[in-house]
Copies of this chain bind each other. A is one copy, B any other.
Amino acid sequence: MLKTKASSPAVLILAAGLGKRMRSPLPKVLHEIGGSPLLFHILRKVRDVAPDSSVAVVVGYGREQVEARVRGAEEFSRMKISFVHQTEQRGTGHAARCAMDSPWGEAVLKAKSPVLVLPGDLPLLSQELVTQMLAPFGRTDAMRLLTCALPDPTGYGRIVRRGTSGPVLRIVEEKDATEREKELREVAASIYLFQAAFMRYALQRLKNKNAQGEYYLTDLVAAAAGAKKRIDVLKWKPADDLRGVNDPWELALAGRLLNERTVRRVSLGGVKIIDPSNTWIDGTVRVEEGAVIHPGAILAGATVVAAGAVIGPRVVLKDVTVGKDATIKTGTVAEASVIGEKAQVGPYAHLRPESLVGEAAKIGNFVELKKARIGAHTSVAHLSYLGDAEVGRDVNIGCGFVTCNFDGRIIDGKRKHRTIIEDEVFMGSDCQTVAPVRVGRGAYVASGSTITEDVESEALAIARCRQVNKPGVARRLRGK
């Protein structure tokens, strides 16, 4: 983290593009990988390296959405972020000029802050790259330029130098390049650091005489060279850092790479990951040392997995807290729920939001919970639905139990009604409780009963018919 308050940098993020090739109405920088918009990945790196920097995000297409999304993110609430509106799409040079001409730009100029320019669609930028770009300028530098030597430079702006390795003269876009220039392998990556004054001066003099008819930010290189100003070059090794996202396929590939980084980080923290290519972990998830994650797991959002917990194959967790030594078995799906220590859940359990599974409780296969609180050491082992329910501790819920939380009636303005099952109740199999209803502590409900009235503590409740056997009738039925 940089701490020099004196020259805390300014950061300009270009996020106005439509992203036509994305074939989507969503602004390009809001497309997500690893559970967060592309823009967030950039902002996080800026926050981690230079938390005090003054950030401007140039927005255009879908700007309300972009602004709303950033402003709504708690994680960026302490950053100084301004939004600059680029009303027309007239190129990166024009975008930068909009920023420098804005109140944000005025303040930056006044503070003489160096200005780091980052594209909003490079979500894999590393902290190391941002740190090195923000290193202090040499005394005579007007700008710093990041370049990269690519085996196949097709599509990129080429770095034209004096001779083969002399000072940088200019950047030429592919569309404006001669055949000879196209053979150059050193390319620009749209990442710059500028002296604020030079930047503004040069932007105001930018021309759009090129194949696209746009104002290119890249032309500031020629402007600096022409004015005999010094250009510092940061040569970067080809890396995923510079992988841009221009279409849904590149988005998907960037998502895989980001995930691999996250999985590797989690793994090195002492988490056993059985198959690194088949595990998805959002950057926002926390997994403690000693946990185990089986193939196909998807951990998303604010999920936390405690030490010793086992996440089985194909488990999908979003915003779920998994307690110490809990076991989540194959295919369980859970959202916005809390699973206690040593609890066992699944296979194929479904925890809908606001469910809470107590310590050492057992939720078995084909069980659905919704706004259900299950006490410690309680067992709901098979094929049941508990919605809007409060279940005590040491309760045994048989197979095929249903809380009838909705029967079409509106009571006290509510459509769904609560079921309360107190500690140590024994609920037989294939029972239903028609809510609102309470089954008292230690009560026993006979299998096959439909419970419509409260059951007092320690009572036996039964609501079923006696069995009648009719000898020989089966043979007759089969005859039909």
Contacts from A to B (Cβ < 8 Å): 22-24, 31, 247-249, 251-253, 255-256, 259, 264, 267-278, 280, 289-290, 295-296, 298, 313-314, 316, 329-331, 333, 347-348, 350, 364-366, 368, 382-385, 396, 398-400, 402, 404, 406-410, 426, 428-430, 432, 434, 442-444, 446-453, 455-456, 458-475, 477-478, 480
Closest chain B CB from A108 CB (angstroms): 36
Q: Which residues of B contact A271 (CB under 8 A)?
A: 248
A-B contacts, 23 listed (Cβ < 8 Å): A23-B270, A24-B272, A24-B290, A31-B272, A247-B267, A249-B268, A255-B275, A274-B280, A298-B313, A314-B331, A316-B330, A348-B348, A348-B350, A350-B365, A364-B368, A382-B385, A400-B432, A434-B447, A444-B477, A451-B467, A453-B469, A458-B472, A459-B473
CA of A277 to CA of B253 in the docked complex: distance in angstroms?
Answer: 9
CA of A407 to CA of B270 in the docked complex: distance in angstroms?
Answer: 43
If A408-B444, A467-B452 touch, does A248 touch B268 (CB 8 Å cutoff)? yes
Closest chain B CB from A431 CB (angstroms): 8
Closest chain B CB from A343 CB (angstroms): 18
Contact of A366 among B368, B406, B410, B464 (CB under 8 A): B368
If A365-B368, A366-B383, A430-B402 touch, does A252 touch B275 (CB 8 Å cutoff)? yes
Please determine whether A251 and B272 come into contact, CB atoms closer than 8 angstroms: yes
CA of A311 to CA of B479 in the docked complex: distance in angstroms?
Answer: 39
Interface contacts beyond A385-B400, A453-B469, A459-B472: sample of 20 additional A-B pairs, CB < 8 Å, sorted by A: A22-B270, A247-B268, A252-B275, A255-B274, A296-B314, A313-B316, A314-B331, A366-B368, A400-B432, A402-B430, A408-B480, A442-B478, A443-B474, A444-B473, A444-B474, A449-B467, A456-B469, A460-B477, A462-B468, A462-B470
Q: Which residues of B contact A446 (CB under 8 A)?
A: 450
CB closest chain-B residue, reference A468: B462
